[in-house]
Amino acid sequence: MSNRATNILVPLVSVILGLLVGAVIMLVSGYNPVVGYTALWNGIFGDLYTIGETLRQITPYLLAGLAVAFAFRSGLFNIGVEGQLIVGWFAAAYVGVAVELPKIIHLPLAILAAAVAGALWGFVPGLLKAKFRVHEVIVTIMMNYIALHVTNALIKTVSDGGDRTEKIFTSASLRSEFFQNLTEFSRLHYGILLALIMVGVMWLILEKTTLGYELKAVGFNQNASEYAGMNVNKNIILAMVISGAFAGLAGAMEALGTFEYVSSKGGFTGIGFDGIAVALLGMNTPLGVIFGATLFGSLKYGALNMPNEAGIPLEIVEIVIAVIIFFVASGYIIRLLLLRAANKKKEAK
């Protein structure tokens, strides 16, 4: 079998298998899978509004996926995208509320604040890894909790004891009248353009710059990188900073686009953790992240329609969605099975 054929066939077979197993789960729980999947489809593509909302949901996944993928390509596992996203969210919302400036300054400033906050949150584990060889997984996990509770406390302070900030000034908003008119007043905002630009930025850094060459070399083989005269520690820190900045931007999407405020949270948003799956589904390439984020965003948003339209409890829906993603993620098992089947055929000949 040619390489290209398997590359197309594998994800396709994976999705179909996932849907089939999901259908079985619905069947044994006493729900009609056809009705369930129709509801899922309508939840994603039903009308212009749901399409707009689906795209809106995809936006932060894109950036969170980029953040994880970028770190992976540099040989680092940034499990702290969640925390970096939360501080980015807060920073953008704070800048959006605290001052009122002309849009041309205010919006970029708020976005920048989110990127810087995320970058800073990535810098700490990067520094610890570079200087003291502390594993980034431990530090970033802990930084997630710090982010969650520190922002909660800050929100309380900023809102005089409340649990959410004011709405941001429109001068800092990513909301788009144009997109709203196009999609029957969904919350789709200009952030999706920014996210797509960032996909290009990641590609540019990795494939076209000297820095990208170094980051990838360090990611693959630190010894050879050192031999070649690269500053391994600098590259580790930079990789975490850039990854954190992507994550911070994901937070800005929520702060300046979807919600236009930040409220204190009882737990994590989950977007940062899903970003790990998005990156892995996309094999850590910029284009792959678009695929992963689209799949994740669509399923997550479309699933919300399943309890409404098909009466399937949210718990079952989440199991079904997880099963589909599980099958896509186990693409290599499918690949193996396909290869084995192909070999059998060859031997039979």
Partner 1 sequence: MEYVVEMLNIRKEFGNFVANDNITLQLQKGEIHALLGENGAGKSTLMNVLFGLYQPEGGEIRVRGKKVDITNPNVANDLGIGMVHQHFMLVENFSVTENIILGSEPTRMGVTNKKDAADKVQALSKKYGLNVDPYAIIEDISVGMQQRVEILKTLYRGAEILIFDEPTASLTPQEIIELVQIMKRLIAEGKSIILITHKLKEIMDVSDRVTVIRKGQGIGTVITAETNPNELASLMVGRQVEFKTEKGPAFPKDEVLDIRDLVVLDYRGVAKVKNLNLNVRKGEIVGIAGIDGNGQSELIEAITGLRKVKSGTIFINEKDVTGLKPRKVTEAGVGHIPQDRHKHGLVLDFPIGHNIALQTYYTKPISKNGFIDYDKINEKAKQIIADFDVRTQGPHELARSLSGGNQQKAIIGREVDRDPDLLIAALPTRGLDVGAIEFIHSRLIEQRDNGKAVLLISFELDEVMNVSDRIAVIHDGEIVDIVTPETTTEQELGLLMAGHKLDDNVKGKLKEGEDQHVE
Whether the CB-CB separation of 248 and 114 falls below 8 Å is answered with: yes
Q: Please enumerate in sequence order all residues whose Cβ is within 8 A of that of 259, keeping only pairs 6 or more positions apart, or say none.
A: none
The whole-angstrom separation of Cα 94 and Cα 180 is 25
From 131, 208, 340, 344, residue interacting with partner 1 (rule: CB under 8 A):
208
Strands, E, within 2-128: which ranges? none
For position 225 contacting partner 1 by CB under 8 A, the verdict is: yes
Instruction: Considering the complex, state which of residue 185 and residue 220 has its C-beta at the smaller distance from partner 1.
Output: 220
If phi > 0 it is left, if psi is from -120 to 50 it is alpha, else beta; for residue 30 that is left
| Least distance in angstroms from the C-beta of 235 to partner 1 | 12
In terms of residues, how long is the chain?
349
| Least distance in angstroms from the C-beta of 285 to partner 1 | 14
Count of residues near partner 1 by CB under 8 A: 20
In 3D space, the residue among 261, 245, 243 whose CA is nearest the CA of residue 90 turns out to be: 261
For position 229 contacting partner 1 by CB under 8 A, the verdict is: yes
Torsion angle, alpha carbons of 240, 133, 150, 79, to 10:
50
Instruction: Considering the complex, state which of residue 220 and residue 332 has its C-beta at the smaller distance from partner 1.
Output: 220
Instruction: Considering the complex, state which of residue 229 and residue 266 has its C-beta at the smaller distance from partner 1.
Output: 229
For position 132 contacting partner 1 by CB under 8 A, the verdict is: no
Name the residue with tokens 């930079």.
238
For position 309 contacting partner 1 by CB under 8 A, the verdict is: no
From 99, 211, 319, 322, residue interacting with partner 1 (rule: CB under 8 A):
211
For position 3 contacting partner 1 by CB under 8 A, the verdict is: no
Instruction: Considering the complex, state which of residue 173 and residue 225 has its C-beta at the smaller distance from partner 1.
Output: 225
Applying CB under 8 A, which residues contact partner 1? 207-214, 216-217, 220-221, 223-230
